[in-house]
Amino acid sequence: MRIDVHTHVVPPDLPDFATSLGDPRWPVFRLEGSTGRLWKDGAEVRAVPEAAWSVDRRLDHMDKVGVDVQVLSPLPPLTVDWADESYGFAFCAQVNYGIAEMVQRAPSRLAGLGMVPLQDCERAICALEDAHGLGLKGVQIGTQGGTRELDDPQIRDFFARAAELGMTILVHPLILGASVPWTTRISGLPLTFGLGMTTDTAIAAAALVLGGVTAELPDLRICLAHGGGTFVWALPRIAHAWAMTNDVPLAQQMRNVYVDTVVYDRANLDHLIRVLGPDRVIWGTDYPLPAAAEQTGELLAGLPDEHAAAVSGGNAARLLGLSP
C-alpha cells in the first residue's frame, strides 16, 4: 500500500465567526469556482484547488498518481488555539465533522485527523473524544497549546487521553506568510519556509521528548511533520548534552516518535531512515501543495526493498491502525 499521511483539506461548511463575532482573526473559507480561498486577518493566506474540499477530485488525483490511502488533516491556518475556548471548541467540532464526512464518502481510500482547542485542556480532551467517536484516527496540533509549550503540565492530561484512545498526534508548524512571530531575524518566504517552520517544529519536538512527555506516555504516538524539522539534524548535539545529566539514552525517549518524508531531498530522507530507523519514517506529501507532493513522491523511487514497503505504507498502517 501507498499511504500518504500528510495531506490537507478544508471542509467547505465552516462557521463564519469572523463576521458573526466581528473578529477578523477567524479563518474564513470562500469558494470561487474551482478555487478555494482561505482568509485570515483580512488577507488571503492560502488558495487551494478543488481537491482540498472535493472527495471526487481527490480520488481522481489519487488514482492518477497511484496512492491507495490519504490521511486528511486540517489546513494549518484553520488552527484556532488563540481563540475563546468555547468558540474554538465549536469551530474544531465543525472541522472534525466535515473531515469525518469526507472520510465516510470513501472509507477504504481516506482516513482522517481532526483538530482540538489545545489552549483549554478539558475542551481539547472533549474534542479528542468526539473525533475518536467520529472514526478519526487522531488529531493535528500546532507547535504550542495556545501560549504553552507542549510539555506544560497543564496539557499533559490531553496527551495521556490520546494515548489511552490510541489517537495519533500530528505536530504541524503553524507559521503563516513571510514572518515568524517569535523572532524578527527570520523573514521572507525562503527563510520562513526553510528555517522558521522547521525550527518551530524542532522546538515542539524538544518539548515533547526532552520535557518527558514521550517517556511518561510510551503508548502515545507522535508524528512530526516536515521530517521533524531541524530536530533530527540536531540530535547528535542534543544527545551529547543530554547524556551529561541523564542516565537514560535520548534514543529511548524517542521510541514513539515518527516523522514524515516532506524533506525535499533524497539525502535528507536517507538521513532520517538512518537515524530513526526505517520503521519510524512515514510517507507524506503535503498535498495539495503541488511542489511538495511531486517532489516528495519522487523521493520514494529507488529506496531499498527492505525500506520501501515500510516507508511507503506499512509504517502508516501500523501507526494509524489501517487495514490493508
120: left (phi over 0), alpha (psi -120 to 50) or beta: beta
**Would you say residue 298 has pLDDT above 90?**
no
DSSP states of 38-87: EEETTEEEEEEEGGGT-HHHHHHHHHHHT-SEEEEEE-GGG--TTS-HHH
Contact between residue 131 and residue 162 where contact means Cβ atoms under 8 Å apart: no
Q: What is the mean pLDDT of residues 266-284?
A: 95
Cβ–Cβ < 8 Å for 278, 310? yes
DSSP string, 105-149: HSTTTEEEEEE--TTSHHHHHHHHHHHHHTT--EEEE-SSBTTB-
Angle at 96 between CA 40 and CA 35, to 5 degrees: 45
274: which strand partners? none
Q: Model confidence at 301, in pLDDT bands (50, 70, 90)?
A: confident
Give yes or no for a contact between 288 and 38, defined as CB atoms under 8 angstroms apart. Answer: no
Could you tell me which of 279, 275, 311 has the C-alpha nearest to residue 296?
A: 311
Read off the pLDDT band of 302 (50, 70, 90). Answer: confident
pTM of the model: 0.96
Is the per-residue pLDDT at 290 higher than 80? no
Measured between alpha carbons, how far is 275 from 273 in angstroms, rounded to an integer? 6
Instruction: Say what the pLDDT of residue 75 is.
Output: 96
pLDDT at residue 295, as a whole number: 67
Out of 3.30.460.20, 2.60.40.10, 3.20.20.140, 3.40.120.10, the CATH code matching 3-320 is 3.20.20.140
**Mean predicted confidence (pLDDT) in 146-168:** 97
The label of the residue with cell 469572523 reads 18
Residue 305's pLDDT band (boundaries 50, 70, 90)? confident
Whether 10 shows a pLDDT value over 90: the answer reads: yes
319 compared with 292, residue with greater pLDDT = 319
CA-to-CA distance for 74 and 7, rounded, in angstroms? 8
The pLDDT value recorded for residue 138 is 98
Give the whole-number percent of the chain exceeding pLDDT 70: 97
pLDDT over threshold 90, residue 234: yes
Whether residue 229 contacts residue 199, with contact meaning beta carbons closer than 8 Å, is answered with yes
Q: Is the per-residue pLDDT at 291 higher than 70? A: no
- pLDDT (0 to 100) of residue 99: 98
38 contact partners, CB below 8 Å, separation of at least 6:
10, 27, 28, 29, 44, 45, 46, 47, 48, 75, 77, 78
- Residue 323: its pLDDT value, please? 76
Average pLDDT, the chain: 94
99 in Cβ contact with 111 (< 8 Å): no
Q: By mean pLDDT, which of 60-69, 89-98, 147-156 is the weakest? A: 60-69
pLDDT digits (tens, 9 = 90+) for 97-140: 999 999 999 999 999 999 999 999 999 999 999 999 999 999 99
Q: What is the spatial distance between Cα 34 and Cα 118, in angstroms, rounded to a whole number? A: 33
**Amino acid 39: pLDDT:** 93
- Split at pLDDT 50, 70, 90, the class of 324 is low
**Domain positions in the chain:** 3-320
What DSSP state is assigned to residue 287?
A: B
**Is the bond preceding 288 in cis, omega lying within 30 degrees of 0?**
yes
Using alpha carbons, select from 160, 265, 259, 260 the residue that is nearest to residue 214.
160
* Average pLDDT, integer, range 320-324: 84
